[in-house]
Amino acid sequence: MNIGEVAERSGIPPKTIRYYEDIGLVRPQRSGNGYRAFRETDLHKLAFLGRARALGFSIEDCRNLLSLYEDETRESAQVKTIAEEHLSAIDDKIAQLQEMRETLSHLVEACHGDHRPDCPILKDLSGDAESIR
């Protein structure tokens, strides 16, 4: 398989696949013409990567997950640990975003949003605490 077909079938753009090779996540062979020659297992790895990335795992997490994936003697606890840490990172991020959302939506509601210059959003950002809350 050439890179185009693999990209098509894995859903990962060619550029990204080349990048993944650069950083050692996949190691396709080469044909005589210098083209990358992907096997089915490469395709599977790329699809695996795509799904793990879609779940927000970092590249380093993916590297570890991939090596666990290929390690028949792995312990599921190792995988679970990575996933749990990622899950709690996601929770933190959600909490942080929700806090932002909270403040910001109050500000947006308080701003009449017309042609006048008076604006509670700017007032709050300028440190004028009495603006909202």
Partner DNA sequence: AATGGGGCTTCCAGTAACTGGAAGCTCAAG
Partner DNA sequence: CTTGAGCTTCCAGTTACTGGAAGCCCCATT
Interface map 101-120 toward its own copies (x if CB under 8 A): x-xxx-xx--xxxxxxxxx-
Instruction: Compute φ and ψ for 37, nearest 5 degrees.
Output: -120, 105
Overall size of the chain counted in residues: 133
Q: Give the C-alpha distances (Å, rounded to integers) separating 23 from 43, 59, 64, 113, 124.
A: 17, 9, 13, 48, 45
- The span of 53-61, 66-74, 107-115, 124-132 binding DNA (CB under 7 A) equals 53-61
From DNA, its own copies, none, interface partner of 59 (C-beta below 5 to 8 A by class): DNA
Q: Does 128 bind its own copies (CB under 8 A)?
A: no
Pick the stretch among 16-24, 65-73, 74-82, 94-102 that binds DNA (CB under 7 A).
16-24
Nearer Cβ to its own copies (31/97): 97
Q: How far apart are CA 35 and CA 15, in angstroms?
A: 14
Asked if 2 interacts with DNA (CB under 7 A), we say yes
Annotate 84-109 with b (16+ C-beta within 10 A) or e (fewer).
Answer: eebeeeeeeeeeeeeeeeeeeebbee
Residues 50-79 that bind its own copies (CB under 8 A): 51-52, 54-56, 65, 68-69, 71-77, 79
Cα angle vertex 22, ends 8, 81, to 5°? Answer: 85
The residues that touch DNA, with contacts defined as CB under 7 A, are 2-5, 7, 13-16, 18-19, 32-36, 53, 58-60
